[in-house]
Amino acid sequence: ALRAVAPRDLAGMRVAVSAGGTREPIDPVRFLGNRSSGRQGAALAAEAAARGAQVILVAANVSADVLAGARHPNVEVRPVATAAELGDAMREAAASADVVIMAAAVADYRPKTAADQKLTKEDGVLERIELVENEDIVAGLAASRPEGQTVVSFAAETNADASARRERAARKRERKGVDLLVVNRADAEHGFEKADNAVEIIGEGGAVAASAEGSKREVARAIWDAVTVRRTPR
């Protein structure tokens, strides 16, 4: 459902959101990448700003038209390309944030070396690219978070079975040490490169704290609602 006026329930809060997908260079003209458009992260930034938060949006390879959806006086965009750059930018933004949301799709691996000249077949057939693992950025942020900070991560799952998705998500939440883990189903109708999204938000003990389906803005609203509930003392 749409809403005429956003509540101001995030007023005075500082938030750091990552969006998009990292690109890991192979040579000056090629990279290892993924299909994340950055729309969900941009919607999270826009929703937070509309509700009064001060937002840093760390944007990995997000197009200008997607970023236009997050244009707001309270949103500062910091563009990055690689996982290493995204990690640096998020550590800096997170240092003074009340809430951190890692919506970006981060490459799990990067080429061990990037060629400084374009690879050419004249040099011979390229048979393999040696990879090294990227550090888990959100796990690092969660492990060294300032007192009282809420950390949220995402997980894109292609498994069609809802209970299998939840079980994997609960394990991932524990492993990363985050408060909330947003599971989005990545399939032909939902998730990457699509206007709509369908998510479950996994909290304490692997329980489903909330679920939402609809536009990425509607999903963003449900995520901020879940963050707010979690941060409100009862």
Q: Which is nearer to Ca ion, 155 or 219 (CB)?
A: 155
Pure H helices in 134-231 = 137-143, 162-176, 216-231
Q: Which is nearer to ligand CTP, 10 or 17 (CB)?
A: 17
Question: Is residue 123 marked as binding?
Answer: no
Dist. CA 126–CA 149, nearest whole Å: 46
Question: Is residue 196 marked as binding?
Answer: no
Dist. CA 144–CA 161, nearest whole Å: 34
Q: Which is nearer to ligand CTP, 13 or 83 (CB)?
A: 83
Decide which of Ca ion, ligand CTP, none touches 216; Cβ closer than 5 to 8 Å per partner kind: none
- Beta-sheet pairing, 54-60 with 14-20: parallel
34 is catalytic: yes
Among the listed residues 7, 22, 6, the one whose alpha carbon sits nearest the alpha carbon of residue 58:
22
For the chain, give the longest Cα–Cα distance.
67
Binding site for ligand CTP (CB under 6 A): 83, 102, 104, 106, 108, 134, 136-138, 153-156, 172
* Shortest distance in whole angstroms from residue 172 CB to Ca ion: 9
* Shortest distance in whole angstroms from residue 104 CB to ligand CTP: 5
Q: How many CB atoms lie within 10 A of CB 8?
A: 11
Decide which of ligand CTP, Ca ion, none touches 155; Cβ closer than 5 to 8 Å per partner kind: ligand CTP
Question: Is residue 118 marked as binding?
Answer: yes
Decide which of ligand CTP, Ca ion, none touches 104; Cβ closer than 5 to 8 Å per partner kind: ligand CTP
108 binds Ca ion (CB under 5 A): yes
Pure H helices in the chain = 39-50, 64-68, 83-94, 137-143, 162-176, 216-231
Piece in contact with Ca ion (CB under 5 A), picked from 68-76, 80-88, 106-114, 185-193: 106-114
Q: Which is nearer to Ca ion, 108 or 196 (CB)?
A: 108
Which one of 34, 61, 134, 184 is the catalytic residue? 34
Piece in contact with Ca ion (CB under 5 A), picked from 10-18, 100-108, 141-149, 205-213: 100-108
Among the listed residues 38, 14, 9, the one whose alpha carbon sits nearest the alpha carbon of residue 154:
38
CA distances from 63 to 21, 42, 70 (A): 11, 11, 12
Dist. CA 34–CA 81, nearest whole Å: 12
* Shortest distance in whole angstroms from residue 153 CB to ligand CTP: 3
Per the DSSP assignment, residues forming a β-bridge with 32 are: 24
Question: Is residue 154 marked as binding?
Answer: yes
* Residues tagged in the binding site annotation for CTP: 108, 118, 154, 172, 176
What is the set of active-site residues? 34
Residues at the site binding Ca ion, with contacts judged by CB under 5 A? 108
